Amino acid sequence: MAAADVIFLVISIIAVGAAALAVTRKNPIYSALFMMVTLLVVAAVFQMLSSPFLAVMQVLLYAGAIMVLFTFVIMLLSLRPEEMGETAPLPQRIFAAVVALGVFALLAFPAIEPGVPAAAASLAPPAAEAVRFPPAAGTGDGATVEFGATAYFGHTIFGRFVLPFELVSILVLAAVVAVMVLAKRDLSKRDVADDGSDRDPPPLSVSAAHAGSIASLATSTQPTSHGPGA
Amino acid sequence: MDALFTLQGCLILSAALFSIGVYGVLARRNLIIVLMSVELMLNGVNLALVAFARHAATLPADTPAAAGAPASGQVLVLMSMAVAAAEVAVGLSLLIALFRHRQTVDSTSISLLEG
């Protein structure tokens, strides 16, 4: 086994272990942290698959933006233990495990089927692979770029795939508008008023006790923050 | 099977991540963790896409799988990451709106359509 195989084996075990811990923890904040481990390990696999740009995007977008969003929502809801949802009954968990194993078998057995010799070739980057690419548009004399080079990636996304790229940006814009509408407070208040019941205690606002402690914290730190300047 | 870091190895890792995500979606009742499991499944699929894109680059140039833009698979992964980010944002804001109304994130207690 080459060095890449050993590294891949180790980080695969880390990824699967962290993923299994992430879906079995009761407290969602532990789930989010184990999930972050899995995403960072997948970023390492992207790097090993000679896709450095995607590895960076995985760290920035998934382990950065998306998981921070998850952590933010977990903190915002600040669930009490009785609000976290009770553990699923054992039959449901057994059923889920059986279905998951079935899905794994369905996906993995075709992958390890012998008879496709190219699929068993190592993907560790050999040295003599750089000349596979046609010259990117605009680079003139056909400079060879390696697989996964960010320059070639940029040429592809802004050349051949510029229309899907713009469509994705429109989708993200629509998502931003949808989030603004969904998370607006007035909407929920109106619905509660229609319901007639007062089921809308402000769980997301700072309670009076917290506000008092924050205010006292602010006043106590104010002199020290002005100290060096005076 | 002496080499592990192959297309097969990457596909097995991706299948493992995907099926762990399936387990999380089916077995958990906390909607935050269900959303996280969906993210895990998406990540497994992304890993398979990158592995196939890398694998296509090792094929001889005249095979059909190697035709087309060599970075297509990676561009597709980038798009799927952007779509996943949008999905998470909408899903989490739905979750916040739901929590405001029902004071719970338990998926079994949300049965408004059950009658």
Non-local (6+) Cβ contacts of B97 within 8 A are A182, A183, A187, A188
Whether A122 and B71 lie within 8 Å, measured CB to CB: no
How far is residue B37's CA from residue B32's CA, in Å, rounded to a whole number? 9
Domain annotation covers residue A73: yes
Domain annotation covers residue A118: no
- For residue A34, the enclosing domain spans 1-81
CATH of residue A64 = 1.20.120.1200
How far is residue A67's CA from residue A73's CA, in Å, rounded to a whole number? 10
pLDDT of chain A along its 230 residues, tens only?
678 888 899 999 999 999 999 999 888 899 999 999 999 999 999 988 888 899 999 999 988 899 999 999 999 887 777 666 667 788 889 999 999 999 999 988 887 777 666 666 667 665 444 434 444 444 444 455 666 678 778 888 888 889 999 999 999 999 999 999 888 876 555 555 454 444 444 444 444 455 555 555 555 544 444 444 43
Residue A180: exposure state from Cβ atoms within 10 A (0-12, 13-18, ≥19): exposed
Query: Quick one: which of A51, A39, A145, A108 has its CA closest to B77?
Result: A51
Please, which residues 50-69 of chain B have a Cβ atom closer than 8 Å to chain A? 50-51, 53-55, 57-59, 61, 66, 69
- Helix A150-158 and helix B72-102: axis angle, to 10°? 80
Domain annotation covers residue A5: yes
pTM: 0.78
Nearest to A112 among B12, B78, B81 (CB): B12
3-class secondary structure per residue, chain B = CCCCCEHHHHHHHHHHHHHHHHHHHHHCCEHHHHHHHHHHHHHHHHHHHHHHHHHHCCCCCCCHHHCCCCCHHHHHHHHHHHHHHHHHHHHHHHHHHHHHHHCCCEHHHCCHHHC
Q: Respond yes or no on whether ipTM tops 0.85.
A: yes
Angstrom distances, CA of residue A179 to CA of A69, A149, B17, B32: 13, 35, 28, 16
Domain annotation covers residue A24: yes
Domain annotation covers residue A2: yes
The answer to whether residue A158 neighbours chain B at the CB level (below 8 Å) is no
User: To the nearest whole angstrom, how far is the Cα of B114 from the nearest Cα of chain A?
Assistant: 18
First and final C-alpha spacing in chain B? 56
The answer to whether residue B112 neighbours chain A at the CB level (below 8 Å) is no
Non-local (6+) Cβ contacts of A202 within 8 A are none
Domain annotation covers residue A175: no
Beta bridge partners of B106: B30
Overall domain count for chain A:
1
Instruction: Give the number of A-B residue pairs with CB atoms closer than 8 Å.
Output: 298
Domain annotation covers residue A143: no
Domain annotation covers residue A12: yes
